[in-house]
């Protein structure tokens, strides 16, 4: 059931980034500030000014403290990455780090480094301790969302900057920045989903429904399956044991088990374009463009929970031990909302609808294609210095003096 709602910025039409949680603190970025809230009582712990498209930050450990790493800037002249102390919000580095181009990828932390990409296909490794750049590698194209980092490699899905080209999946050595391998998929796909790493295998979904597993060591194909829908270029598959969960743009949630070939599909018939699925205990939680969230049992593929629509799209989901936290925005005021278990409530056990709704499928597919086109179109336009209006950010205005809270 809903526990609390916070509106950090009351300007309608804006978005917040996906939230991240650590040490009882929820962190989210907006177009004018980054905010940290208490995960239990929604009180504002601190805020830090920024200017840029809201992109997901990351939390890591450096010098005995937790730090939040995030990007800012609108274009090459103002593109930066910085770190603040999670507890106080005070700067953790002596100065911000300048980037070659604006970054919209968000940040990924693995060990003592933060990794991110920019609109011109540069990938950066930054030391969490002092903010120094350990290495920079160009993979070309445009990097739309967080890279994956594990097994000593950084995995990047670079969308093509030209419709005549294909997306590239590249693996970069975490320590040295050397490119280990690069793979161009068989299909003429200008983009893919965001990558996930599971058991030494990189997993990416492509527009034609192909889901591919590649070895992190050499890029060789280890398995291939198909799902009957397109996955948004801003959504990452979820890993659970030996299986993976894909949320497609039309609202289908797919459990894929490469080892056995078994799985299930639950059709919500509501677009999933920004929020990646998250595994919570024995369920997978997904967020929709109508502002609702749903949970499906991993064992049965049946619906166990669905919240009411709010009319504002879900931008991301984070979990604590006892609550689910979502960011929402778009048509209304951007907000963070928390859901907790209702001790007096009962879980559902509903099988998937037999058939997807054709009109919803067409709409979700079309919107996902438009979003994918923006991945490379924005990068090309930035290089030409063409004026671009980011749909997730309203017209420039002053940061609200107060944070609005609803219990």
From residue 104, alpha-carbon distances to 86, 142, 196, 394 in Å are: 22, 9, 18, 17
Q: How far apart are the first and last CA of the chain?
A: 12
pLDDT in tens, 328-346: 987 667 899 999 876 566 7
Angle in degrees, CA 365, 371, 373, rounded to 5: 105
In a 13 Å sphere around the CA of 356, the CA atoms on its Cβ side amount to 23
pLDDT of residue 382: 38
* Cα separation, 236 vs 279, whole angstroms: 12
How far is it, in rounded angstroms, from Cα 236 to Cα 144?
11
pLDDT at 359: 44
- With CA atoms as reference, report the closest residue to 329 among 124, 53, 82, 119: 53
> Which three-class secondary structure state does DSSP give residue 399?
coil
Write out residues in the chain with pLDDT < 70, as ranges.
1, 9-13, 162-164, 186-188, 331-332, 342-345, 354-407
Quote the CA–CA distance of 180 and 401 in Å, as a whole number: 48
Q: Cα 271 to the chain's mean position, in Å? A: 16
Specify the DSSP element, H or E, that contains 373: helix 358-383
Sequence-ordered strand ranges (E) for 50-90: 58-62, 65-72, 80-85
Angle at 157 between CA 188 and CA 363, to 5 degrees: 65
Query: Per DSSP, what are the bridge partners of residue 171?
Result: 155, 181
Contact 353, 267 (CB under 8 A): yes
pLDDT per residue as tens digits for the range 352-388:
986 555 444 445 545 555 555 554 444 444 333 322 2
C-alpha–C-alpha distance, residues 286 and 272, integer Å: 8
Gap between the Cα atoms of 376 and 143, Å rounded: 9
pLDDT of residue 109: 98
Tokens of residue 353, six digits: 């609808």
Contact between 69 and 30 under an 8 Å Cβ cutoff? The reply is: no
Helix segments in 1-51, DSSP class H? none
Give dist(CA 356, CA 251) in Å, integer.
9
Distance in angstroms (rounded) separating the CA atoms of residues 27 and 46 = 10
Q: CB of 239 within 8 A of CB of 223?
A: no
Count the residues in the chain: 407
**Residue 166: what pLDDT?**
79
Which residue bears the tokens 């709602």? 5
**Beta-carbon contacts of residue 292 (< 8 Å; ≥ 6 apart):** 270, 306, 307, 308, 309, 310, 314
């Amino acid at each position: 059931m809903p526990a609390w709602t916070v509106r950090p910025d009351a300007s309608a039409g804006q978005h917040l980034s996906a939230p991240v949680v650590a040490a009882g603190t929820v962190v989210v970025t907006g177009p004018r500030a980054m905010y940290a809230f208490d995960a239990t009582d929604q009180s504002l712990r601190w805020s830090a000014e920024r200017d840029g498209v809201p992109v997901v930050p990351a939390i890591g450990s450096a010098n005995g403290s937790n730090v939040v790493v995030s990007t800012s800037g609108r274009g090459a002249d103002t593109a930066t990455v910085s770190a603040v102390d999670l507890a106080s919000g005070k700067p953790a580095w002596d100065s911000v780090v300048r980037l070659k181009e604006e970054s919209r990828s968000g940040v990924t932390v693995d060990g003592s480094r933060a990794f991110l990409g920019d609109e011109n296909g540069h990938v950066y490794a930054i030391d969490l301790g002092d903010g120094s750049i350990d290495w920079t590698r160009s993979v070309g194209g445009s990097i739309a969302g967080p890279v994956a980092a594990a097994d000593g490699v950084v995995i990047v899905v670079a969308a093509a900057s030209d419709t005549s080209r294909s997306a590239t999946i590249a693996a970069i050595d975490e320590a040295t920045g050397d490119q280990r391998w690069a793979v161009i998929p068989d299909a003429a796909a200008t983009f893919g989903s965001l990558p996930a790493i599971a058991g030494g295998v990189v997993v990416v979904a492509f527009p034609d429904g192909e889901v591919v597993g590649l070895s992190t060591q050499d890029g060789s194909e280890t398995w291939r399956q198909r799902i009957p829908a397109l996955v948004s270029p801003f959504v990452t598959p979820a890993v659970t044991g030996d299986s993976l969960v894909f949320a497609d743009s039309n609202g289908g949630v797919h459990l894929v088990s490469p080892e056995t070939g078994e799985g299930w599909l639950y059709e919500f018939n509501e677009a999933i374009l920004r929020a990646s699925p998250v595994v919570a205990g024995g369920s997978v939680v997904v967020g929709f463009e109508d502002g609702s969230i749903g949970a499906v049992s991993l064992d049965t593929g049946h619906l166990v929970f669905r919240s009411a629509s709010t009319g504002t799209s879900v931008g991301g989901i984070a979990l604590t031990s006892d609550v689910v936290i979502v960011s929402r925005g778009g048509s209304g005021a951007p907000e963070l909302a928390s859901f907790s278990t209702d001790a007096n409530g009962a879980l559902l056990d509903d099988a998937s609808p037999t058939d997807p709704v054709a009109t919803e499928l067409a709409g979700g597919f079309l919107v996902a294609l438009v979003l994918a086109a923006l991945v490379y179109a924005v990068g090309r336009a930035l290089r030409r210095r063409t004026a671009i209006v980011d749909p997730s950010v309203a017209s420039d205005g002053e940061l609200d003096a107060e944070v609005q809270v609803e219990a």
